[in-house]
């Protein structure tokens, strides 16, 4: 199988710290992968390595290229939005479109203008005159108009209000994503992306602590809610975590027998956010 991103022993060291610690990673085509971890876990370092923005140790292959050596040619096949509001503030929208068209062989001006038509962004606007949400729309319009197979989004909606955030992901899903394309997203707003993800990767202290598909997540993990009576029995089944909410106890199980759990109380699939908190607090999952 051909992977879009393939890493073996990927490591990124800064002077005193190891940001990414011997990561092995395989991401096939047609996936939307959430790369999720607390601040300083190494998400951005890993993404920078993938995008050729930083040096690294270990093996890394993105679309058959080595990012550290071939950033410029890799960028013909990869798009990324690193953080909101990195578009140059002085530039006018038409200048941005013309530059991208001249530099990027796979950019379609028509597509970009079509996406922009549904926004309030006009050709004469300077980026500094736009609101943060409009800048994100502009950047997304540019990126979606580039026909590439890997899109990397690093906190693309940070600081945007909920309307823009929802719209951002809706556009991405409806107008962009298909079987050939792969999207890698890092974000803190886990709740907003969990419904569009196909795969989940948790990263903590530079190591991957979870790497599985959303289907696997549904199979493996179960959340059990019990009243005071069932608490001891539930604890006996060795849950990953336990928390209390309005007098009821909520347990998170990995690879537990759902039938057994159902006898104790209400069982459901945990949210990614709950799974994340449990994984980060409870050692390796």
Partner 1 sequence: MNRLLALIKREFWENTGAFRTTPLVIGGIYLAVMLMFIITFGHFDNEFQTLRELIHFTAQQDPGVRAKFVYESTLAMSTMFSVVLAFVVFFYLLGSLYDDRKDRSILFWKSLPASDTLTVASKLLSAMVVAPLIFWAVYVLVHITMMIVSSVVVMSLGENPWTLFLSLGHPFKAWSLVFASYMAQSIWALPLYGWLMLVSAFAPRIPLLFATLPPVVFAVLQIWITFLQTFTLKKKLFGIIGEWFVNSPLIMSADNKGHDIAALGVPISSAFDHDVTLANMLDRLFSTNMLIGLVVAAVFLAGALWLRHRATEG
Q: Does 14 bind partner 1 (CB under 8 A)?
A: yes
Q: Does 16 bind partner 1 (CB under 8 A)?
A: no
- CB nearer to partner 1: give 26 or 73: 73
Please select the residue that binds partner 1; options are 18, 29, 82, 113, rule is CB under 8 A: 82
Nearest to 213 by CA among 204, 205, 221: 221
CB of 10 to partner 1, least distance (A): 16
* 22-51 residues near partner 1, rule: CB under 8 A: 48, 51
Q: Does 86 bind partner 1 (CB under 8 A)?
A: yes
Q: Does 55 bind partner 1 (CB under 8 A)?
A: yes
- CB nearer to partner 1: give 133 or 239: 133
Edge-to-edge order in the sheet of strand 221-226: 241-245, 248-254, 221-226, 266-268
Q: Does 124 bind partner 1 (CB under 8 A)?
A: no
Burial class (CB in 10 A: 0-12, 13-18, 19+), 276: buried
- 182-186/32-36 β-pairing: parallel
Angle between helices 109-117 and 93-103 (to 10 degrees): 150
Nearest to 123 by CA among 147, 92, 78: 92
**Cα(210)–Cα(63) distance, integer angstroms:** 23
3-state secondary structure of 134: helix
Nearest to 151 by CA among 106, 175, 184: 184
Q: Which stretch binds partner 1 (CB under 8 A): 96-104, 213-221, 235-243, 274-282?
A: 96-104
CB of 99 to partner 1, least distance (A): 6
Q: Does 246 bind partner 1 (CB under 8 A)?
A: no
Please select the residue that binds partner 1; options are 16, 39, 105, 110, rule is CB under 8 A: 105
Name the token pair of 196. 């569009």
3-state secondary structure of 55: coil
Q: Does 95 bind partner 1 (CB under 8 A)?
A: yes
Q: How many residues at the interface with partner 1, by CB under 8 A? A: 34
Q: Does 129 bind partner 1 (CB under 8 A)?
A: no
Give the interface with partner 1 as residue ranges (CB under 8 A).
14, 48, 51, 53-55, 71-76, 79-83, 85-92, 95, 98-100, 102-105, 139
């Amino acid at each position: 199988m051909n992977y879009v991103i393939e890493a073996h022993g990927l490591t990124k060291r800064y002077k005193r710290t190891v940001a990414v610690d011997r990561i092995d990673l395989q991401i096939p085509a047609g996936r939307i992968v959430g790369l999720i971890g607390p601040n300083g876990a190494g998400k951005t370092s890993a993404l920078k390595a993938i995008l050729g923005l930083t040096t690294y140790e270990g093996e890394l292959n993105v679309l058959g290229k080595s990012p550290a050596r071939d950033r410029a040619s890799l960028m013909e096949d990869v798009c990324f939005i690193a953080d909101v509001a990195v578009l140059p503030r002085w530039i006018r929208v038409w200048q941005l479109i013309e530059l991208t068209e001249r530099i990027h062989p796979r950019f379609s001006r028509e597509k970009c203008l079509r996406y922009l038509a549904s926004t309030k962004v006009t050709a004469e606007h300077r980026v500094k005159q736009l609101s943060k949400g409009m800048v994100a729309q502009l950047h997304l319009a540019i990126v979606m108009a580039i026909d590439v197979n890997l899109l990397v989004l690093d906190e693309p909606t940070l600081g945007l209000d909920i309307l823009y955030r929802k719209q951002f992901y809706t556009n991405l899903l409806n107008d962009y994503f298909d079987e050939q394309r792969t999207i890698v997203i890092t974000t803190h707003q886990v709740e907003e992306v969990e419904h569009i993800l196909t795969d989940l990767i948790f990263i903590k202290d530079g190591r991957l602590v979870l790497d599985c598909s959303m289907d696997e997540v549904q199979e493996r993990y179960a959340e059990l809610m019990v009243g005071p009576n069932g608490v001891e029995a539930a604890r006996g089944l060795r849950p990953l975590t336990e928390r209390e909410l309005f007098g009821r106890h909520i347990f998170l199980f990995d690879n537990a027998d759902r039938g057994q759990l159902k006898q104790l109380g209400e069982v459901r699939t945990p949210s990614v956010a709950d799974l994340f908190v449990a994984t980060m607090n409870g050692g390796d999952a």
